[in-house]
Structure 1
Amino acid sequence: MRFRLTDDQRALRDGVRQLLARRFDTEALRAAVRGPVRLDRALWRALGDAGFFALRLPEADGGVGLGLPEAVLVFEEAGRALLPGPLAATHLAAGAVPGAAEGETVVTAVDGGLAEWLTEADVVRGDTAGAVPLRSLDPLTPLHRVPGAAAAPDPVAVLLTAAEQLGTAVRVCELAAQHARAREQFGRPIGAFQAVAHLCAGMLVRAETARVAVYAAAVTADPADIAAARLLADEAAVHGARDCLQVHGGMGFTWESEVHLHLKRAWVRTQRAGGITESEELLAADLVAGTP
């Protein structure tokens, strides 16, 4: 089966990319990393005005009236830009929590024993009794550990996380290719060397494989498809960011580079929505159930 974006879907993706390029470009990302970890409320409201959170709400309820495939495209762009904040939790709360759809209310949720942006949120979904702050790997994702049993993950939250991971996988592939063309050693671009070329090719294959899986899961909304997409997207993001660091060498670890930020965010995302193990168990159960 072929999955091709419609003209409207491409326009939506391009519009979100342009919005983020204006409101959260590379300089804004670096400034956010250097400064105190605070959620940009003006940016959050701008996302609300653009329909980011109300994308799947029916038009009769004041939403945009689009579906899961469009939400995946939007969250892919958010992942590509390393947009900080509890995006999925606020998106899922639109229509249920006043102000969430408009970006006036920041919503976070207890997810797999963790809560992101707990102190910045206006509304918290889930019990946060006994929450303890953690030192997060990602400087733009403050975390709290929340004791107690973890609830079953929402499949939509799993898929939106996979879409953000896909955004990182695509972005680090772009960064690696750009650096491989521009950086020279021994009078040649480093991309001309086989070892670097193989790293870049592997990143591209993983990113495009994850893209197909994520887009397909957005169409079918099948839990097993979503689990498979999550696993492929996690691998593409984490493995791709690590390979991108290899292509950049020591430069990738510097604060001037965004490469290490993609790796750190990708690691944090792997703990969301039940983590990798939850998706592995769901996919394994589906495969066993389908065995004759």
Structure 2
Amino acid sequence: MDFRLTEDQTALRAATRELLARLYPPERLREDAAGCGPPRLDRELWRALGDAGLFSLRLPEAEGGVGLGMPEAVLVFEEAGRALLPGPLVATHLAAGIVPGAAAGEVVVTVVDGDAAEWLEEADCVLEGFGETGVLGPYPAQTEPIRSVDPLTPLHRLPHDAAAGRAGPEAELLTCAQQIGSAARTLDLAVQHARTREQFGRPIGSFQAVKHLCADMLVRLEMARTAVYAAAVTGLPEEHFPAMLLAREAAGRNARDCLQVFGGMGFTWEAEVHLHIKRGWVLGVRGRSDRSYEEAVAEQLAKGAEWTF
């Protein structure tokens, strides 16, 4: 099976990167992260994303959508993860066609994932899982704000009796796409810093230890990206489960290795890498645990499954 991108897919990815660089550049990311008080969702940005087709990407053209599939959605959400775009992107995308106004970015939709929900106070509609039923307006159950490690992902904990099931395979795959986008961005940051930062009169990228870190980041990224693309194309469970594991590992470990390349500077607010670490932590605990994915992979192996990557 050929997983190489078509010309249209390559153009879509390039156009999305250009759009997000204009709508949400790294400078604005750092400004938002350094703001005081709870983060506020930029409704103008949300509508611009709707106008660009991010939420209606997989809706049929007859319903006002773009008419593309999951492989294209993965490419777009990879770029969103690269830019650390804030907001309940996955929930709003999956609600397009179910919740009026979601496709156009006029309505912000979040979802209850286990016992937590993100961007609850900013949401116009809260879905109890990715079915066709939702709760319009504020969630009726008593909620408790959680101090999120990611300054751009506000979280609320719900009472145990109000908790819903975990997000489905589509939500998990789009989250994986965000994770590999983050892993790609931290790789680029590490390589750029290794080329320009000098120590003992030489770029630090000339030192073997730094070379090994960057090489490991690249291998980790490409393994995860291939797995996620394969899962998006085939839709098979035996592709889905390893994609979850590899994407989560790539986002987390690449961010930590990037921080190692940056040294102490990586912990400061002007460095973007620490924001990728924090987003990776938040995304890494959403959905099912690593162990549940590992058990699913082991079960598929026991059945004789063969992977395409």
Normalising to structure 1: TM-score of the pair?
A: 0.96
Distance in 2 (alpha carbons) for counterparts of 1:41 and 1:106: 9
Q: Among residues 153, 157, 163, which one is paired with 1:145 in the alignment?
A: 157
Secondary structure in 2 matching 1:118: coil
Which residue of the partner structure matches residue 45 of structure 2?
Answer: 43
Q: Which amino acid aligns with 2:77?
A: F
Deviation at 1:230, TM superposition (A): 1.1
* Equivalent residue number for residue 146 of structure 2: 134
Distance 1:40 1:278, change over 3 A: farther
**In 2: Cα distance, 1:160 partner to 1:277 partner:** 20
Spell out the pairing of 1:121-270 with structure 2 (5 A cutoff).
121-126=123-128, 129-148=141-160, 150-270=164-284
What is the rounded CA distance, in whole Å, between the counterparts of 2:2 and 2:195 in structure 1? 32
Identity %: 66
Q: Deviations 1:111-138 (Å, cap 9, x if unpaired)?
A: 1322010000000012852421100010
**Contact 1:72–1:163, Cα closer than 8 Å, also in 2:** yes
150-159 vs 7-16, which moves further: 150-159
| 1:279 has 2:256 as partner | no
Secondary structure, in 3 states, of the residue corresponding to 1:151? coil
Q: d(CA) in 2 for partners of 1:88 and 1:188?
A: 44
Q: Deviations over 1:6-57 (max 9, x none)?
A: 1111111111111111110011111211224111110100000000000000
Residue pair 1:111, 1:274 contacting (<8 A) in 2 also? no
State the partner residue of 1:110.
112
- On the 8 A contact 1:33/1:139 being kept in 2, the answer is yes
**Alpha-carbon distance between aligned partners in 2 of 1:237 and 1:262, rounded to the nearest angstrom:** 8
Measured after TM superposition, the shift of residue 85 of structure 1 is: 0.4
Tell me how many residue pairs correspond in the alignment: 291
Q: Which runs of no fewer than 5 residues in structure 2 stay unpaired?
A: 129-134
Please give the alpha-carbon distance, in whole angstroms, between the structure 2 residues aligned to 1:156 and 1:278. Answer: 17
Asked if 1:78 corresponds to 2:88, the answer is no
- Calculate the TM-score normalised by the size of structure 2: 0.91
What is the CA–CA distance in structure 2 between the aligned matches of 1:120 and 1:275, rounded to whole Å? 27
Q: Are the aligned partners of 1:116 and 1:144 in contact in 2 as well (CA < 8 Å)?
A: yes
Unpaired runs of at least 5, structure 1: none
The residue identity in structure 2 corresponding to 1:32 is D
Q: Distance in 2 between matches of 1:82 and 1:247?
A: 20
- Mapped partners of 1:150, 1:55: distance in 2: 26
What SS class does the counterpart of residue 270 from structure 1 fall into? Answer: helix
Cα distance, 1:152 vs structure 2: 4.1
Q: Which residue of structure 2 aligns with residue 13 of structure 1?
A: 13
How much is the aligned-residue C-alpha RMSD, in angstroms?
A: 1.4
Moved over 6 A (4+): none
Secondary structure in 2 aligned to 1:108? strand
Deviation (angstroms), 1:225: 1.1
Counterpart secondary structure, 2:110: strand
Q: C-alpha separation between the residues in 2 aligned to 1:5 and 1:140?
A: 31
CA distance, structure 2, for counterparts of residue 278 and residue 16 of structure 1: 33
> Is contact 1:112–1:274 with CA below 8 Å preserved after alignment?
no
Q: Matched residues in 2 for 1:190 and 1:207: separation?
A: 22
Partner letter of residue 252 of structure 1? Answer: G
Q: What does residue 92 of structure 1 align with?
A: 94
What SS is found at the alignment partner of 1:256? Answer: coil
Change (3 A) 1:152 1:287: farther
